[in-house]
Amino acid sequence: MKKFAVLLSVLMILSTLLAACAAPAATEAPVVEAPAAAPVATEVPPTEAPAPVTITYWAFGSEGSAMADGTLWTDWYQKLFADYTAAHPNVTIDFALKGYDASGSTLAVDTAVAAGTPPDVYFDTKFRVKKYQDVKLLEDLTPALGADDLAAYDSAAMAGSKSGDMMWSIPADGGYWNMIVNKTIFETAGKTDLLPKGPDYSWTTEEFMTACEAINDPANKVYCTAFFAGSTSMDSATNEWLAGFPECQFFDTANTAYTVNSPACVEAFTFMHTIYEKGLMVPGAAGLIDDTTDPFWLTQQVAILGQGNWYDSITKKGIADGFIKPPFDYIFVQFPNKPGAPVTPVGMANPDVWGVFKQTDPAKLQAIYELVNYMQKPEIATAIAVGWGKIPVRTDATFESSDPAVAEPLAAARKFGSYDPYFVNGVPCNYNDVRQAWAETRQAFWQDNADVQALLDGFVERANGIVTSCP
């Protein structure tokens, strides 16, 4: 009995010590810089069998999340990787979908990074991947692309994936958003004559306001529009309204400074605050988030919203699942432009990108480059884009869609150009901190008697302070 007890105690102490000391070792390993310009298609001599490589590939999404056509993302990726590994027998791909928590943070990836066990390849939105670049954890992906690939990319989309000459990510797709209008509400009220007409579907801020006031009926719980500022999530839904005020620039890339307090931006936000002051929007914007705004659209209590492709997708799902009863007709229109300004370009949402975490093994890095190169080819990137209800950013992608949620914004984007709600050329560092400051500013903005100029000045001062503290 005594021997058993002694053995048990020794085992317990050992296991505890091992558990406490196991994790950090991986983080201490020195990082070996990748060869600066390793060619993608490096041929391995036929006599040498390539060493086995396991690549960890994480993409955002939760278990059970599906593509636009209903195929599970997991199934799609597994099939794709099965084909890839069949052609590359030395490669094993350890794939997982990693979802966000409610605030949109990437806790799973952050925890893995802190533990020294990040994935090799991470596919997520540009801003989320960028935060790892801010702390110099990503590889330069220039060697992953051939000259023909580089030439094929939309230059604006590619510029956003670079810091100087370093390509810290490769964009797969972009979401082009314009306004969605519940036509049924306007038909019921007999006000369809106030809506923008084709083929451009554009309107001025004055025309918008006329339609908005005509359709707004709070007594019957019908609101013209809605905004939300309760969290950092989907702040582009507010920023895309700035597109109708062309002189307003959220961020000045050339001078690395936030400029959203300029007179043009103050004019834009003053216009938006008029919507609030006139009671033309769902009350409580400062406390609403994107998820709590959705029910107002789905229950036909709000007539006009930004983020058209998102509301289109949830409406279709609602009709398919049977909790939305037709009639529920809607159309896409442009955001209102201030009188005299050109037709508003289409808001380009946060693109999804590939990023690769720093590697210690050059051979493995080479295998990762090859995998990323395979993924970004037009056919696969297009499939990913369509799966997310977005459009590919490679100009050589064959992309046609009969879905108005995709086809109409794309047609408008091609005609009027696209507008990046934040940055035309690159993303400044520490953007997550700036987004937090921006959410707080918007929460203060959606209050009675908000001093627009003072609020924007306060944000710009805070945001520029964050930018200047960048490493």
Residues lying near other proteins in the complex (CB under 8 A) are found at 5, 8-9, 12-13, 16, 19-20, 24, 27-28, 102-103, 105, 107, 110, 113-114, 116, 131-132, 135, 137, 221, 229-232, 282-289, 292, 296, 301, 430, 432-433, 436, 439-441, 443-444, 446-447
Cβ distance to other proteins smaller for residue 188 or 443: 443
Rounded to a whole number of angstroms, the minimum distance from the CB of residue 62 to other proteins is: 17
Rounded to a whole number of angstroms, the minimum distance from the CB of residue 187 to other proteins is: 23
Cβ distance to other proteins smaller for residue 4 or 164: 4
Rounded to a whole number of angstroms, the minimum distance from the CB of residue 229 to other proteins is: 8
Cβ distance to other proteins smaller for residue 380 or 444: 444
- My answer on whether omega of the bond before 404 falls inside 30° of 0, hence cis, is no
Cβ distance to other proteins smaller for residue 282 or 303: 282
Rounded to a whole number of angstroms, the minimum distance from the CB of residue 239 to other proteins is: 18
Q: In what order do the strands lie in the sheet with 346-348?
A: 176-177, 346-348, 418-419
The H or E element that residue 305 is part of is strand 302-305
As a whole number of angstroms, the distance between CA 97 and CA 387 comes to: 15
Cβ distance to other proteins smaller for residue 312 or 433: 433
> Under 8 Å CB-to-CB from 389, ≥6 apart: which residues?
68, 175, 309, 310, 312, 313, 403, 405, 406
% helix / strand / coil in the chain, to the nearest 5?
A: 45, 15, 40
Look at residues 333, 329, 348 and name the one whose alpha carbon lies nearest to residue 179.
Answer: 333
Q: Are strands 53-60 and 91-98 parallel, antiparallel or unpaired?
A: parallel
Rounded to a whole number of angstroms, the minimum distance from the CB of residue 185 to other proteins is: 15
Cβ distance to other proteins smaller for residue 67 or 137: 137
Rounded to a whole number of angstroms, the minimum distance from the CB of residue 286 to other proteins is: 4
| Per-residue buried b or exposed e for 407-422, using 16+ beta carbons within 10 Å of the residue's own CB | ebbbbbbeebebbbbb
Look at residues 140, 133, 227, 176 and name the one whose alpha carbon lies nearest to residue 431.
Answer: 133
The H or E element that residue 258 is part of is strand 257-258
Cβ distance to other proteins smaller for residue 232 or 376: 232
Rounded to a whole number of angstroms, the minimum distance from the CB of residue 408 to other proteins is: 30
> Under 8 Å CB-to-CB from 59, ≥6 apart: which residues?
73, 77, 95, 96, 97, 98, 122, 123, 124
